[in-house]
Amino acid sequence: MMRDQTEILAKILQILDEVCPERNARATRSAQASLIDDYYIDSLKVAELSLLLEETFDVSVFLPHLIASVRDPHELTVGALAEFVQSNLAESV
Amino acid sequence: MAAPFSIHKDEDIYFVELDTPGSSVNIFSRAAAAQIRQFIQSLKATDASLVVFKSTKPYSFLNGTELVLTASTRSLEDAAALSEDTRQAYRAIEQCPVPTVSAIHGSCFGCGVEFSLCTDYRVAADSFDTCFYMTELKDYYFPPIFGALEKLPRLLGLRAAVDFLLWGEKWRAEQARERNLIDHVLGAENFDSNLRAFLTCGALRNLCKRPILESRASLPANDATDRAAIRNRIDRLPVEQRGLYSLCFEAMLESLQGPCSHEFKRKSTAAFQSIFHSDAWRNATAFFFIRTMARTASLGTSSLIPSDPVTLRLPASGSEYARIFGDRRLQGLTVHRDAAIGRPELIGENAMRQPFDVQWGYAAEVRPGSVPLIYFPDGELYDVCEVFIAPESLPRFRSLLVLITHLGWQPLVRRMEGTSVLNTLIEAGASGLGHVHREAQQLLRAKVLRHSSQVDVAVSSLYDFPPSRGSFMSHFARAG
């Protein structure tokens, strides 16, 4: 099972490339990238991303919980997603 | 990323066409709001005779706003701040110096309906996928915030407005016209040319601005009986839903009397504020994502656009589903009824025939044969169907299954072995929902289904499990 933060981040970036091919050309492919402003993630893609993350990491990754937890939607970054996955992995042990 | 709207002028009509970039459905994003405001600000009354809003996205006129953003709101102030761009854009459309028309082909949901209520005229295509539906209360347990509460009772009358907004009735174009939601129905085939012919006909030459809120509301003769019946029905809703439904109903009544009073607005604000502290709203919003996850788990895509058009040959007699598939005119679906065949066929590339079976109506024993099987356990009563299919056949049938979602059923895809999952859940229900939960856990452990969201969607359909309680599987796991 993958636990390393760097490895989780790399895998998430790979999955985001698949789910959201139309990335903001000015955004870097990094933990700081915004899911909304840079990956243009919409509600359908949230569901698709949740499912792919669950299958990749073999853990429940219900992204609406992450979305509901932030005060400002701009806090929804790739890094925040990686932390969310890592925390779910830790809880599942 | 490309601009959401493309704007072009043909003679003296502006066509403003929405195609949300990177999404399989149109949503009214902040970029869309900014573009509309900028366009309308630059417009003078003499610039054109009409502004026509339409979609170039198949199957979707306008499905909503940015739900991802809405899901992160925690207070009325958050919601107001997030919705301000949309609110300003909608107001700009209402105040557009040129008369406006919504030309609707495809789903028109929630704030899509509210968008169309800002235009002076509404016309729609007579296809089954052109569907009007107020999602807010039914799906999200959230009040409509872009004018529907005030406008719908005035436009439709109280009874129809309540059916549409509170009870979540889905209307196709003809039903919408009968209830006064739209002005005219156009043939879906060659919709663009039908629209152009309609817009340029003599009758539309003298269109004028027609704001709904300036129209005079009329109260029906049986108003008191209607109100009592509606209040009774609200009292029978799950307890967590009654407050918001009552509030919305009172707001609709108030709108029939005239501008809402200061005291009413104060009470409404306090009640809406309480929604943000309720589990019901979070659960209902989460359920939208669960529904999409179930579809993605079944079809391998969240997209609502089939990759190819679909042609079916269906038996000519004795099959209710063949009649329904044929009658529900849908973009991208061609149905031939053929007396010579007994088994339905999907006509693929190079006219290659892919036979499949359909079981329409409950059968105690449902097992697949050698070809894919689609099982509708109670015809039209349940909006879920079960699809037995081998993984290697799924790509050939995927477009058909996407179209089946537009026809009104959520396909639950599973392998070509074993007995029906839906029957298992139906039979377990005789012993209570706790038993259904235990059976569902076994199905998931045995990997008969790919994801727990598929169970959630099935139970929602079979047992009317309310979205305000969220995931059935999580709800019962929490309850122990």
| Model pLDDT for residues B33-52, shown as the tens digit of each residue | 999 999 999 999 999 999 99
Whether residue A67 lies within 8 A of chain B, CB to CB, comes out as: yes
What confidence score (pLDDT) does residue B142 get? 85
Say yes or no: B178 and B326 in one domain: no
Task: Say yes or no to pLDDT of A1 above 60.
Answer: no
Give the count of domains, chain B.
Answer: 2
Say yes or no: B211 and B288 in one domain: no
CATH of the domain at B172: 3.90.226.10
What confidence score (pLDDT) does residue B205 get? 65
Task: Say yes or no to pLDDT of B122 above 60.
Answer: yes
Q: Is A73 helix (H, G, I), strand (E, B) or coil?
A: helix
Q: Is residue B224 part of a domain?
A: no
Query: Which residue type occupies B210?
Result: R
Whether residue A62 lies within 8 A of chain B, CB to CB, comes out as: yes
Q: Is A33 helix (H, G, I), strand (E, B) or coil?
A: coil
| Integer Cα distance of B43 and B206 in angstroms | 19
Nearest to B462 by CA among B337, B365, B333, B375: B375
Say yes or no: B317 and B462 in one domain: yes
| Integer Cα distance of B455 and B461 in angstroms | 10
Task: Say yes or no to pLDDT of A34 above 70.
Answer: yes
**Crossing angle of the two packed helices B30-41 and B76-94, in degrees rounded to 10:** 30
What confidence score (pLDDT) does residue B204 get? 64
Q: Is residue B331 part of a domain?
A: yes
| A69–chain B nearest CA distance, Å | 7
Cross-sheet strand order for the sheet of B384-388: B357-360, B373-376, B384-388, B410-414
Q: How many CA atoms lie within 13 A of B371 on its CB side?
A: 14
As a whole number, mean pLDDT of residues B71-82 equals 77
What confidence score (pLDDT) does residue B220 get? 63
Strand partners, B345: B313, B355
CA B35 centroid distance within chain: 25
Radius of gyration of chain A (CA): 12
Q: Report the percent of chain B where pLDDT is more than 70.
A: 96
Task: Say yes or no to pLDDT of B375 above 80.
Answer: yes
Whether B284 and B138 have beta carbons less than 8 Å apart is answered as no
The residue segments making up the domain with residue B172 are 5-215
| Both structure tokens of B8 | 């072009």
Confidence tier at B216 by pLDDT (50, 70, 90): low
| Integer Cα distance of B323 and B153 in angstroms | 35
Residues found in chain B: 480
A contacts of B64 (beta carbons < 8 Å): 43
| Integer Cα distance of B460 and B351 in angstroms | 38
CATH of the domain at A83: 1.10.1200.10
Q: Is residue B255 part of a domain?
A: no
As a whole number, mean pLDDT of residues B290-312 equals 94
Whether B217 and B255 have beta carbons less than 8 Å apart is answered as yes
Q: Is residue B116 part of a domain?
A: yes
The conformation of residue A36, written as its DSSP 8-state character, comes to T
CB contact under 8 A, B68 and A48: no
What confidence score (pLDDT) does residue B217 get? 61
CB contact under 8 A, B451 and A51: yes
What confidence score (pLDDT) does residue B211 get? 80
Q: Report the percent of chain B where pLDDT is more than 90.
A: 69
Say yes or no: B160 and B294 in one domain: no
Comparison of pLDDT for B158 and B271, the residue scoring more: B158
Domain edge (last residue) among B166, B191, B215 = B215
Task: Say yes or no to pLDDT of B305 above 60.
Answer: yes
Residue whose token pair is 């573009």: B35
Cross-sheet strand order for the sheet of B345-347: B333-338, B310-315, B345-347, B353-355
As a whole number, mean pLDDT of residues A61-74 equals 86
| B69–chain A nearest CA distance, Å | 6
Task: Say yes or no to pLDDT of A45 above 70.
Answer: yes
B contacts of A64 (beta carbons < 8 Å): 71, 285-286, 289
The model's pLDDT over B399-454, given as tens digits with 9 standing for 90+, comes to 999 999 999 999 999 999 999 999 999 999 999 999 999 999 999 999 999 999 99
Confidence tier at B480 by pLDDT (50, 70, 90): low
As a whole number, mean pLDDT of residues B359-365 equals 94
A contacts of B24 (beta carbons < 8 Å): 44
Nearest to B384 by CA among B367, B408, B420, B354: B408
Task: Say yes or no to pLDDT of B265 above 90.
Answer: no
B contacts of A46 (beta carbons < 8 Å): 68, 289, 292
Q: Is residue B464 part of a domain?
A: yes
Q: Is residue B89 part of a domain?
A: yes
Q: Is residue B121 part of a domain?
A: yes
Weakest mean pLDDT among A21-25, B354-358, B440-444 = A21-25
| Both structure tokens of A59 | 């853990």
| Integer Cα distance of B168 and B35 in angstroms | 31
Say yes or no: B317 and B174 in one domain: no
ipTM value, please give it: 0.88
What confidence score (pLDDT) does residue B53 get? 98
Whether B161 and B220 have beta carbons less than 8 Å apart is answered as no
SS (H, E, C) chain B: CCCCEEEEEECCEEEEEECCCCCCCCECCHHHHHHHHHHHHCCCCCCCCEEEEEECCCCEEECECCHHHHCCCCCHHHHHHHHHHHHHHHHHHHCCCCCEEEEECCEEECHHHHHHHHCCEEEEECCCCCEEECHHHHHHCCCCCCCHHHHHHHHHCHHHHHHHHCCCCCEEHHHHHHCCCCCEEECCCCHHHHHHHHHCCHHHCCCCCCCHHHCCCCCCCCHHHHHHHHHHHHHCCCHHHHHHHHHHHHHHHHHHHCCCCHHHHHHHHHHHHHHCCCHHHHHHHHHHHHHHHHHHHHHCCCCCCCCCCEEEEEECCCCHHHHHHHHCCCCCEEEEEECCCCCCEEECHHHCEEECEEEECCCCCCCCCCCCEEEECCCCCCCEEEEECCCCCHHHHHHHHHHHHHHCCEEEEECCCCCCHHHHHHHHHCCCHHHHHHHHHHHHHCCCCCCHHHHHHHHHHHHCCCHHHCCHHHHHHHHC
Nearest to B60 by CA among B99, B115, B97: B115
Task: Say yes or no to pLDDT of B455 above 70.
Answer: yes
| Integer Cα distance of B413 and B420 in angstroms | 11
Domain edge (last residue) among B166, B197, B215 = B215
Task: Say yes or no to pLDDT of B218 above 70.
Answer: no
As a whole number, mean pLDDT of residues B82-100 equals 94
| Both structure tokens of B24 | 């399989």
Question: B442: buried, middle or exposed (CB in 10 Å: 19+, 13-18, 0-12)?
Answer: exposed
Task: Say yes or no to pLDDT of B210 above 90.
Answer: no
The residue segments making up the domain with residue A18 are 5-92
Give the count of domains, chain A.
Answer: 1
| Both structure tokens of A92 | 């599942």
Whether residue A50 lies within 8 A of chain B, CB to CB, comes out as: yes
Q: How many CA atoms lie within 13 A of A36 on its CB side?
A: 19
Nearest to A71 by CA among B72, B35, B417, B349: B72
As a whole number, mean pLDDT of residues B322-340 equals 91
Query: For an interface test with B, which of A44, A53, A58, A62 has the most B Cβ atoms less than 10 Å from its Cβ?
Result: A44
As a whole number, mean pLDDT of residues B83-102 equals 95
Domain edge (last residue) among B215, B235, B267 = B215
Task: Say yes or no to pLDDT of A2 above 60.
Answer: no
Q: Is residue B14 part of a domain?
A: yes
Residue whose token pair is 């169907």: B385
Task: Say yes or no to pLDDT of B312 above 60.
Answer: yes
Interface size between A and B, measured as CB pairs under 8 A: 87
What mean pLDDT value characterizes chain B? 91
- Which residue does chain A place closest to B67, by CA atoms? A43
